[in-house]
Each structure stands twice: as structure tokens, then as C-alpha cells.
Chains A and B, each alone.
Chain A
């Protein structure tokens, strides 16, 4: 079982819709959870992070954690074509305290 799993996509949503991105993680001791956005040919850029104690909203972005199911989600409201990118979920803490990345989900927002 991979440590952090994401559906590779592509996830296609129309402009203005809500995009829902998900990832699952295997280490129950994980403490912090990150979402990075990576445009093609560019480096990862941090969008949001949450601790194990709660969800977080920042503008159009909401990160949610379900500890019981070991599941993290990122919701993007009012999706824009400029949101089209690969979204990497990363998890830290637990056994190694390393930042472990998933393979990313490609989001395509259709104008």
C-alpha cells in the first residue's frame, strides 16, 4: 500500500464549479497535511496546510481532514481555468516525520 494515494485524474470540471480533490494516507500518526499546486514544468507551490486538529478555509480553497478514514480533501470553489494544474497531497509526521507526497491529481477546468 502506498503511503499517500491520489487518483491521477484528470479531473475535469466546468468553470465556476466546485472541484473536489482527495487523498488517503496510511500512517495513522500523521500530524500535518499539505496541498501543493504544480503547473506543468514548474515546481510545487504550497496552497494550504492543516493540522490534525481541524479543517481550514482560505479564500476559494477549503482543506478537510477525516482522521478516522485517513482521508484529506481539497475543495476549490468557483473553479477557474487558471486552477488547471496538478495538485499534490503531502503528509508529514508519524513514523518518519518526512513529507511524503502522493502522485498528484491533474485538474482541468474547462472554460
Chain B
């Protein structure tokens, strides 16, 4: 079974530029998550989708970050404009979304460097 796929793996941009990340979850997983992991910290949830609806985006900086999950499968996360403090690894995870334990499986991440 294929895991969570993310692209690109690395991105370097200058501040005020825009950037987009793509994620394809494990087949059949209803729930998709985007996390931000700053160096030396644990992952922080940015947004959670259940199918194509948003469950939690309370920690998403909505003035610059946006995310969508059209058709309830793959998802894109966009930052516009980027700031220096956005430099981090952006992790996508998915889970079956069947309630109970609902274990999350992580993709390889996209390492963003903002100069």
C-alpha cells in the first residue's frame, strides 16, 4: 500500500513570495491533516479535513495560509505571502477517519526555506 505522498520535497523562496504544497493521502483515508514542524519542535496542526470539509483550522494563519481538499482526496496548502518565520517542514498526514484510535500516518514532508 502506498503511503502519503507529498511534493515538492524541498522549496526555497524569498519572503513575500507565494508557495504551494501538494499532498495525496493513503487511499481510502477520509481524514487529512497539515502540520507545521519548526526545527526543534513537535508538529503543530494547521488544518484538518474530514473528506472535503474542514474540521479544525483554528491554528491556521488565515491571513496568509490557505488549504483546500477538493473531491475529498488530495490537498494543497498555500502560503501567500511567505514570511521568514514560515521556514519549517510541512507535514501531511492521513488517517482512516473511522473514529476511535484513528492513527495518523505521515508523509515525508516538504522542507520550506524562506530567505
The residues of A with any CB-CB pair to B shorter than 8 Å are: 4, 8, 32, 34, 42-46, 49, 51, 88, 90, 96, 98-99, 101-104
| B44 contacts partner chain A, Cβ-Cβ < 8 Å | yes
Interface of B is mostly: loop
* Nearest residue, chain B, Cβ from A36: B106
| B40 contacts partner chain A, Cβ-Cβ < 8 Å | yes
Using a CB-CB cutoff of 8 Å, which residues 8-66 of chain B contact chain A?
40-45, 48, 56
For B41, the chain A residues whose CB sits under 8 A away are: 103-104
Q: CA separation between A8 and B41, bound complex, in Å?
A: 9
Contact assessment for B106 and A103 in the assembled complex, using a CB-CB cutoff below 8 Å = no
Q: CA separation between A4 and B104, bound complex, in Å?
A: 18
Interface size class of B (residues with CB under 8 A): 10 to 19
* Nearest residue, chain A, Cβ from B111: A41
Contact assessment for B108 and A90 in the assembled complex, using a CB-CB cutoff below 8 Å = no
Q: CA separation between A103 and B109, bound complex, in Å?
A: 17
For A45, the chain B residues whose CB sits under 8 A away are: 106
* Nearest residue, chain A, Cβ from B4: A43
Contact assessment for B108 and A88 in the assembled complex, using a CB-CB cutoff below 8 Å = no
| Cross-interface CB contact of B42 among A46, A96, A103, cutoff 8 Å | A103
Do A99 and B45 form a contact, CB below 8 Å, given A32-B101, A43-B91, A44-B91? yes
Q: CA separation between A32 and B103, bound complex, in Å?
A: 10
- Among B41, B43, B91, B106, max chain A CB count under 10 A is at B43
10 nearest A-B residue pairs (beta carbon): A101-B42, A43-B106, A43-B109, A103-B42, A44-B106, A101-B43, A43-B108, A102-B42, A103-B41, A88-B42
